[in-house]
Structure 1
Amino acid sequence: MVFISKRSSRLLLSVFTAIGFGLSISAWIMKPAPTPPPNIVLFFMDDLGYGDLSCTGALDYTTPNLDRMAAEGTRFTNFLAAQAVCSASRAALLTGCYPNRLGISGALGPNSPIGLNPNEETLADLLKEKGYATGMFGKWHLGDNKQFLPLQQGFDEYYGVPYSHDMWPLHPAQAQANYPALRWIDGNEPKQEIKNLDDASQITGTITERAVSFIRNHKKKPFFLYVPHPLPHVPLAASPKFKGKSARGIFGDVLTELDWSVGQILGELKQQGLDKNTLVIFISDNGPWLNYGDHAGSSGGFREGKGTSFEGGHRVPCLVRWPGVVPAGRVCNKLLTTMDILPTVVKLCGARLPKQQIDGVDWITLLKGDNTVTPRDHFYYYYRKNSLEAVRQGDWKLVFPHPGRTYEGFLPGQGGKPGPSTETHEFPAGLYDLRRDPGERYDVREQHPELVAKLEKLAEEARADLGDDLQKRTGANVREPGRVSK
């Protein structure tokens, strides 16, 4: 047995205390700093088709910055716009809702009496509440009255155009339309007029400059940068630096400049040391406006295009990059939509979900590389004011009889003028297996009556919830758009 004196005991206690204190200090010093919330950069192209990037099959021009983004991140090949038309698609992106739930449809014109209801909580609202700087540079198109503009919808800064830049007196197909002058909007205030194609050729460069400046000005706090480019929607215009540079004509020139824009913004993130803590998403609002011919993009072989409920209208490119978080060089074929951006981003950033019902789903686990999960089970193809034209579950799509737009059988236009199309073509019902028939050419209803019954039941759930103009039904859970104050 070993006896230790009181003096020795006190000495040992002091030694052990010092060691413990030193270890705790060492652990405190070595403890990594908490990871700051990620910055978010969201690109939203206009009328860019699934086949309009060189990494998705484009010919006669290249998109090296976007191809690099795909190589350094994940390309989602089964990503759908919520509706195949401008204002509706944008409402869905910013709110996480089917646009018809919000009372938004079509493409709102100048002086629209309605807009996105300020009572809706946008992605910008939710991130701003969490301390993010929020900036938007590009096309709004959710109501041009001041009460609907971006500064009233959660954005700290806005510079862009209030609606599509073909809604002006020089519209090639509606020359007599009584459109007002198209002006840039700075915050809430109209600024210089975009008078002609020379002025329009500065759109992409101006938006890029503003976006880069926003990153520089807010590099010390988390930010949400929304860049909804107005192009390649017609009328096409490229700056002198890019005009005539591609073998694809003006459309290729415009895509080359848009790719440059993405490269400038990605480069600025790296320059400011923000590259590894920034989630970058690149998507489009809908498919190509095919009757514009050589001034339109490519649906990548999917059926039809913008303004239809076929895959060419809804299927859009989706590239996601976040070094060290989103797997590089990966292709994911799981079903996702623009509505799913909001719940995913707010969860990543530690923000809350909107208080009212939304339709988006969180796909963070899939985003980070777990292909065993399937976040989205089904999708409703609504169009016009509130017409349910198709439903999808997994890879099966049931199209209902409906009148609609078709480009098939019409010679496309040339030189910026549209060719004919019809809005009243009668589409028959059809069941399509998108695994083997992504072009929706072979109706297999007779072979799979049990699937037809299952999808019709899903459609009935949609009609009860959101309504269906084709059946003259009102949904139980639709909300009112914002209306211009008298």
Structure 2
Amino acid sequence: MTTSAQRPNIVILYADDLGFGDIGCYGATAIATPRLDQLAAQGLRFTNGYATAATCTPSRYSLLTGSYPWRNERARILSGDAPLIIRPGLTTLPSMLKQAGYATGVVGKWHLGLGRGDLDWNGEILATPLDVGFDESFIMAATNDRVPCVYIDGRRVAHLDPADPIEVTYDPKRPFPGLPTGRDNPELLRMKHSHGHDMSIVNGVGRIGYMRGGAAALWNDETMAETFLERAVSFVSRHRDHPFFLYYALHQPHVPRIPGPRFAGATGLGPRGDVIAEMDWCAGQLLDALDHHGLSENTIVIFSSDNGPVLDDGYQDDAVERCGAHRPAGPLRGGKYSLYDGGTRVPLLLRWPGVVAPGESAALVSHVDFLASFAALTGVALEGAGGPDSANVLPALLGHSRQGRSEIATEGTWGRMALRQGDWVFIRPHEGPPVNKSVNIETGNSPEPQLYDLAADIGQMRNQAADYPEQVLALSARLEEILRSAQTRA
């Protein structure tokens, strides 16, 4: 146990599919994000902050476990009925902070699985966030485009009527007879799909997967932001007298993008822009709650995103048509699903008034490092295999050092890997199409090795592999060494 002076509250605000160029403090001008810009002005803005993967489940797995996602073969984009992929008993960020005396809570998107297989949504759910270190949990089961479209409060579906039980299947050959689907009943849709998202219809929107029952428990997309915000603010209020850790996993700007009434039409970029404005407001309301309770001075607030941006991710919401000059990934190449930096290099802000001086940091840091860094802050020793890839970069996170980690391995999709070491990025050869045509994003796939110097070429437009063959060999060998290793944490 450490003293209260060494145990600041910790709040992680984690956006969903938000790009490096999507908010004002990273150069966006088409979407106003005043509260996040204010947060940046009051703290550190990192220019080399990375998720470990270009998709959501793997990167969230790394944030909570301090492990590269490829160490767990189940850390891939999950269906809404997938079992929990974090093994109970594994050292996690919340379990470590509980050991340090923190109250721990998660609110919002989970997408790391629930239950142990053959999940019954109508009773007590075993294997939840409560079993991997969280004291409190109010989440959606997976994502807002996947069934079941219900909130999970602790171990039970919220507001479920026992007389109307929930049934869920992801078997494409077994839709529930008689229930309309987006594929067969497009006239029932208020937001049409562009690819996928044509199974069960909930709230006039086609989803991935089939569900029936649970009418009283179904969420309302328009009030989702405020529902999660209320629970996050409540957690802060109830735990204001003791150290707490809140993982507030925002659902914006993931599809389907359905803002609440106050933000519908708030920007000129359509629903995607509107939900980013809504996300900014949610962050501001949480910051206001910290101020209200006199907690801001003793609270570390982190804002980041799970992966890079995507415009058309399955719905016809005019995200492409209305994007205009806005560049969601900023100067970076690629986006969600991509091996290029646009897939994993994300906004990262950290504020701790009186400790962290406002400014900008080019230190190389990653979400996977939060476990070891906050263990060092709170005086908890990581033992054995805990946080196998989490580096203690606390001095860099607090702005006391310009040096972060020396390298980071990142994942596109399905085990396709890249390695950044210093300013060099190496992408090993991968088969497959160079462009994911469904979302119109470059994958990074190439039959040839790729080597980029980010110091001179942040947009990764000049492949220098042929010019520096010795660098290619060294980085290729190092990446293979990492992939064969049991851990990279010293």
Which TM-score bucket, shorter chain as reference?
0.7 to 0.9
TM-score (norm 1): 0.80
Structure 1 pair 420–337 and aligned structure 2 pair: CA distance change class (3 A): closer
* Alignment partner, residue 145 of structure 2: 166
Q: Which letter maps to 1:167? A: R
Q: Deviations over 1:185-235 (max 9, x none)?
A: 000101258932681121111111111111111111000011011221000
1:266 partnered with 2:266: no
Q: Which letter maps to 1:188? A: R
Q: Tell me which moved more, 201-210 or 423-432.
A: 423-432
How many aligned residue pairs are there? 413
Residues 112-261 of structure 1 correspond to what in structure 2 (within 5 A)? 112-113=82-83, 115-145=85-115, 146-168=125-147, 181-192=148-159, 195-196=202-203, 199-261=220-282
Structure 1 pair 131–454 and aligned structure 2 pair: CA distance change class (3 A): same
Q: CA deviation at 1:428?
A: 2.9
* Alignment partner, residue 466 of structure 2: 446
8 A Cα contact 1:160 1:186, kept in partner: yes
Structure 1 pair 214–463 and aligned structure 2 pair: CA distance change class (3 A): closer
Q: CA deviation at 1:283?
A: 0.7
Q: Which letter maps to 1:154? A: G
Q: Which letter maps to 1:254? A: V
Larger Cα-atom Rg: 1
* Alignment partner, residue 52 of structure 2: 82
Q: CA deviation at 1:119?
A: 2.8
| Alpha-carbon separation, structure 2, partners of 1:348 and 1:189 | 34
8 A Cα contact 1:95 1:339, kept in partner: yes
Q: CA deviation at 1:344?
A: 1.2
* Alignment partner, residue 429 of structure 2: 401
Q: Which letter maps to 1:234? A: V
* Corresponding residue to 2:448 among 420, 428, 444: 428
* Corresponding residue to 1:349 among 352, 357, 378: 378
1:305 partnered with 2:335: yes
Q: CA deviation at 1:460?
A: 2.6
| Alpha-carbon separation, structure 1, partners of 2:84 and 2:334 | 29
Q: Which letter maps to 2:202? A: K
| Alpha-carbon separation, structure 2, partners of 1:450 and 1:214 | 53
* Alignment partner, residue 351 of structure 2: 321
Residues 352-367 of structure 1 correspond to what in structure 2 (within 5 A)? 352-353=381-382, 355-357=384-386, 358-367=388-397
* Alignment partner, residue 16 of structure 2: 46
Structure 1 pair 437–129 and aligned structure 2 pair: CA distance change class (3 A): same
Q: Deviations over 1:157-209 (max 9, x none)?
A: 111201111113xxxxxxxxxxxx32110001012589326811211111111
SS in 2 for 1:365: helix
| Alpha-carbon separation, structure 2, partners of 1:41 and 1:232 | 20
8 A Cα contact 1:100 1:386, kept in partner: yes
Moved over 6 A (4+): 421-424
* Corresponding residue to 2:74 among 80, 104, 120: 104
| Alpha-carbon separation, structure 1, partners of 2:6 and 2:143 | 36
Q: Deviations over 1:127-175 (max 9, x none)?
A: 112221111110111112234311111111111201111113xxxxxxx
Q: CA deviation at 1:368?
A: 2.8
* Alignment partner, residue 481 of structure 2: 461
| Alpha-carbon separation, structure 2, partners of 1:364 and 1:120 | 22
Structure 1 pair 279–202 and aligned structure 2 pair: CA distance change class (3 A): same
SS in 1 for 2:234: helix
* RMSD, matched Cα: 2.4
8 A Cα contact 2:339 2:443, kept in partner: no
Q: Deviations over 1:347-398 (max 9, x none)?
A: 22233325315111112212333344x23111122344434x3222101011
Structure 1 pair 420–314 and aligned structure 2 pair: CA distance change class (3 A): closer
| Alpha-carbon separation, structure 2, partners of 1:113 and 1:40 | 28
TM-score (norm 2): 0.79
Residues 367-386 of structure 1 correspond to what in structure 2 (within 5 A)? 367-372=397-402, 374-386=403-415
Task: Please state which structure has a larger fraction of its residues in helix.
Answer: 1
Q: Tell me which moved more, 241-250 or 229-238.
A: 241-250
Extract unaligned runs of 5+ from structure 1. Answer: 1-32, 169-180, 411-417, 466-475, 479-486
Q: Which letter maps to 2:288? A: G
Q: Tell me which moved more, 418-427 or 121-130.
A: 418-427
Structure 1 pair 248–383 and aligned structure 2 pair: CA distance change class (3 A): closer
Q: CA deviation at 1:311?
A: 0.3
Q: CA deviation at 1:406?
A: 4.7
| Alpha-carbon separation, structure 1, partners of 2:88 and 2:73 | 13
Q: CA deviation at 1:425?
A: 5.5
8 A Cα contact 1:404 1:425, kept in partner: yes
SS in 1 for 2:477: helix
Percent identity between the two aligned chains: 38
8 A Cα contact 1:80 1:315, kept in partner: yes
8 A Cα contact 1:50 1:299, kept in partner: yes
Q: Tell me which moved more, 189-198 or 251-260.
A: 189-198
Structure 1 pair 383–265 and aligned structure 2 pair: CA distance change class (3 A): same
SS in 2 for 1:279: strand
8 A Cα contact 1:404 1:422, kept in partner: no
Structure 1 pair 57–407 and aligned structure 2 pair: CA distance change class (3 A): farther
8 A Cα contact 2:105 2:247, kept in partner: yes
Q: Which letter maps to 1:136? A: V
Q: Which letter maps to 2:263? A: F
Q: Deviations over 1:35-88 (max 9, x none)?
A: 262000001111011111011122322100000000000000111111111111
8 A Cα contact 1:79 1:335, kept in partner: yes
| Alpha-carbon separation, structure 1, partners of 2:377 and 2:14 | 20
Structure 1 pair 266–442 and aligned structure 2 pair: CA distance change class (3 A): same
